[in-house]
Amino acid sequence: MQYVRNTLGMQVCCIAQLSDLLAYLSTQTGNEMGQHLPKVQAYRDRYGV
Protein backbone atom coordinates (compact mmCIF):
# COMPACT_ATOMS: atom_id res chain seq x y z
CA MET A 1 0.00 0.00 0.00
CA GLN A 2 2.70 2.45 0.95
CA TYR A 3 4.58 1.79 -2.28
CA VAL A 4 1.53 2.53 -4.40
CA ARG A 5 0.64 5.62 -2.37
CA ASN A 6 4.15 7.07 -2.17
CA THR A 7 5.65 6.05 -5.49
CA LEU A 8 2.68 6.12 -7.82
CA GLY A 9 0.73 8.84 -6.02
CA MET A 10 -2.48 6.83 -6.08
CA GLN A 11 -5.07 6.79 -3.33
CA VAL A 12 -5.28 3.40 -1.61
CA CYS A 13 -8.21 2.06 0.36
CA CYS A 14 -7.73 -0.96 2.60
CA ILE A 15 -10.63 -3.42 2.40
CA ALA A 16 -8.98 -6.18 4.45
CA GLN A 17 -6.11 -6.45 6.88
CA LEU A 18 -3.48 -9.14 7.25
CA SER A 19 -5.30 -10.42 10.33
CA ASP A 20 -8.42 -10.90 8.19
CA LEU A 21 -6.44 -12.94 5.68
CA LEU A 22 -4.90 -15.06 8.43
CA ALA A 23 -8.32 -15.72 9.96
CA TYR A 24 -9.70 -16.77 6.59
CA LEU A 25 -6.76 -19.02 5.77
CA SER A 26 -7.00 -20.70 9.18
CA THR A 27 -10.50 -21.89 8.25
CA GLN A 28 -9.27 -23.39 4.97
CA THR A 29 -7.42 -26.40 6.33
CA GLY A 30 -7.31 -29.34 3.98
CA ASN A 31 -7.78 -27.38 0.77
CA GLU A 32 -5.63 -25.42 -1.66
CA MET A 33 -6.01 -22.05 0.08
CA GLY A 34 -5.10 -23.45 3.50
CA GLN A 35 -1.63 -24.37 2.31
CA HIS A 36 -0.70 -20.68 2.23
CA LEU A 37 -1.27 -20.11 5.96
CA PRO A 38 2.28 -20.96 7.13
CA LYS A 39 3.85 -18.60 4.58
CA VAL A 40 1.53 -15.72 5.49
CA GLN A 41 2.22 -16.32 9.20
CA ALA A 42 5.95 -16.30 8.48
CA TYR A 43 5.56 -12.97 6.65
CA ARG A 44 3.77 -11.47 9.67
CA ASP A 45 6.41 -12.84 12.03
CA ARG A 46 9.25 -11.45 9.91
CA TYR A 47 7.85 -8.01 9.12
CA GLY A 48 5.70 -7.47 12.22
CA VAL A 49 2.66 -6.41 10.26
Check the CA dihedral 13-19-23-25 and report its sign. Answer: positive
Query: Which one-letter DSSP state was computed for residue 15?
Result: S
pLDDT of residue 9: 94
**Terminal-residue alpha carbon distance, the chain:** 12
Average pLDDT score over residue span 17-43: 95
The chain-wide mean pLDDT, for the chain, equals 93
pLDDT at 49: 63
Domain-by-domain residue ranges, the chain? 16-49
The pLDDT-based confidence of 48 (bands split at 50, 70, 90) is confident
HSE-up (13 A, CA, CB side) for residue 25: 16
